[in-house]
């Protein structure tokens, strides 16, 4: 018989970014979630958000989620749908699913520790390592700094990179992408990310001008919740003979929304963020849905979790390695990291559960 959830505690911390992601993104907020079951076993998970919303996430965990979870089976897959149904009046995604992820991850961590297994082997290992690509939040970098970053990625052995676009002047984007492509050469892949900055007309024009740089994908060309806009963009690109894969998903929060984009045939690479979608339980469902549609999965951020999940998927999966933003780089780990990146490949280290132990006294929130 599955033990019950007997305790749920949270702790907030902020992790300053060594290099801000923008003028209003100076740090990351993490909510550590500790779960203890009725047998005394403990698991630790986390919720995560860049700068905004951390206190709301913690409040939801400390009240509605705790009240609902106590006394229920300490099993992530059993609890998740019932908890989501309970919280749905507060919103189907966003703060709701971000908060749910903290508990879901803690329960998977608990299960792994009980079994004496790391997450990859608990879920079912498909491979020992996978491709990592260099990534940076770099639209605000001067051109020389962007080029230097691309050179660091090449020196580190990455076979692909992703950079930001969406400058006020499209000519600046063209110059920047041309410079990065020159550093990379013809054999490394180059993806670009507009972070929802473009209108439909601007996206059509920009993708047309940037397509000659042999793009692996264009990420979030439009607002993430604008399905009709993505349908129109696909139609316009096809009519213009422009063939650049579209990636999205970091700001899509439920499998229902992923299904809508997949069914519409407007996405070539889905990028679920394991925290924003609500944890490992829904992430696995979204990945399976993408696989049924024959669409590539490339998890968004959170290398320590995304890489482990990638090693369980049926097809080799690209994993994002953001410069200076791993948990180890942020200085918030108390032990060794659960994954290691070497020469453009990432592997797990086999630590039990999630393998993530946050420092006892990190930077306070």
Q: Is the dihedral of CA 171, 221, 326, 341 positive or negative?
A: negative
**Residue-by-residue DSSP string for 105-160:** HHHHHHHHHHHT-BHHHHH----SEEEEEEE---TTS-HHHHHHHHHHHHHTT-SE
CB half-sphere exposure, 119, CA atoms < 13 A: 33
Strand partners, 348: 339
Which letter does DSSP use for residue 62 in this model? I
The single-letter DSSP state of residue 27 is E
The Cα-based distances of 316 to 17, 30, 248, 270, 306 in angstroms read 30, 29, 18, 14, 13
What sign results for the dihedral spanned by CA atoms 63, 64, 67, 72?
Answer: negative
Give counts: helices (H), strands (E), the chain.
13, 13
Q: Which of 325, 110, 80 is nearest to 88 (CA)?
A: 80
Helices 143-155 and 170-184: crossing angle, nearest 10°?
Answer: 30
Task: Tell the residue number behind the tokens 């991850």, with chain if given.
Answer: 105
Q: Give dist(CA 362, CA 331) in Å, integer.
A: 8
Residue 2 has what DSSP assignment? P
Q: How far apart are CA 265 and CA 236, in angstroms?
A: 14
Q: What does the alpha-carbon distance between residue 189 and residue 271 come to, in Å, rounded to a whole number? A: 17
Does residue 300 have an active-site annotation? yes
* Pairwise CA distance, residues 35 & 105, whole Å: 10
DSSP one-letter string for 78-92: HHHHHHHHHHGGG-S
Choosing from 164, 230, 293, 315, the catalytic residue is 164
- In the residue annotation, 164 being an active-site residue is answered as yes
Which candidate in 162, 230, 253, 300 is catalytic?
A: 300
Q: What DSSP character marks residue 213?
A: G
Catalytic residue ranges? 164, 300
């Amino acid at each position: 018989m599955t033990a019950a959830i007997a305790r749920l505690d949270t702790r907030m911390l902020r992790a300053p970014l060594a290099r801000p992601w923008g003028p209003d993104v100076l740090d990351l907020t993490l909510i550590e979630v500790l779960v203890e079951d009725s047998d005394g076993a403990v698991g630790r998970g986390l919720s995560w958000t860049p700068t905004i919303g951390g206190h709301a996430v913690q409040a939801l965990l400390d009240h509605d989620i705790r009240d609902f979870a106590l006394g229920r089976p300490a099993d992530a897959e059993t609890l998740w749908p019932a908890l989501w149904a309970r919280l749905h009046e507060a919103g189907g995604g966003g703060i709701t699913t971000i908060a749910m992820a903290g508990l879901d991850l803690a329960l998977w961590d608990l299960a792994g520790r009980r079994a004496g297994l790391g997450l990859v082997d608990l879920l079912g290992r498909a491979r020992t390592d996978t491709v990592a690509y260099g990534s940076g939040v770099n639209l605000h970098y001067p051109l020389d700094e962007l080029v230097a970053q691309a050179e660091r990625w090449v020196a580190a052995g990455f076979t692909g990179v992703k950079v930001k676009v969406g400058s006020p002047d499209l000519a600046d984007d063209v110059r920047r992408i041309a410079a990065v492509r020159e550093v990379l050469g013809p054999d490394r892949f180059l993806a670009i990310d507009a972070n929802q900055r473009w209108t439909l007309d601007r996206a059509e024009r920009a993708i047309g001008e940037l397509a000659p740089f042999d793009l692996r994908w264009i990420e979030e060309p439009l607002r993430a919740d604008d399905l009709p806009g993505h349908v129109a963009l696909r139609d316009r690109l096809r009519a213009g003979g422009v063939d650049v894969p579209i990636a999205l998903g970091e700001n899509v929060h439920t499998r229902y929304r992923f299904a809508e984009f997949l069914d519409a045939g407007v996405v070539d690479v889905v990028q679920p963020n394991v925290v924003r979608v609500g944890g490992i339980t829904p992430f696995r469902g979204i990945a399976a849905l993408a696989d049924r549609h024959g669409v590539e999965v490339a998890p968004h951020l959170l290398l320590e979790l995304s890489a482990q999940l990638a090693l369980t998927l049926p097809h080799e999966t690209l994993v994002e390695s953001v410069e200076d933003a791993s948990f180890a780089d942020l200085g918030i780990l108390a032990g060794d990291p659960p994954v290691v990146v070497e020469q453009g490949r990432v592997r797990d280290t086999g630590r039990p559960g999630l393998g993530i132990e946050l420092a006892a006294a990190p930077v306070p929130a």
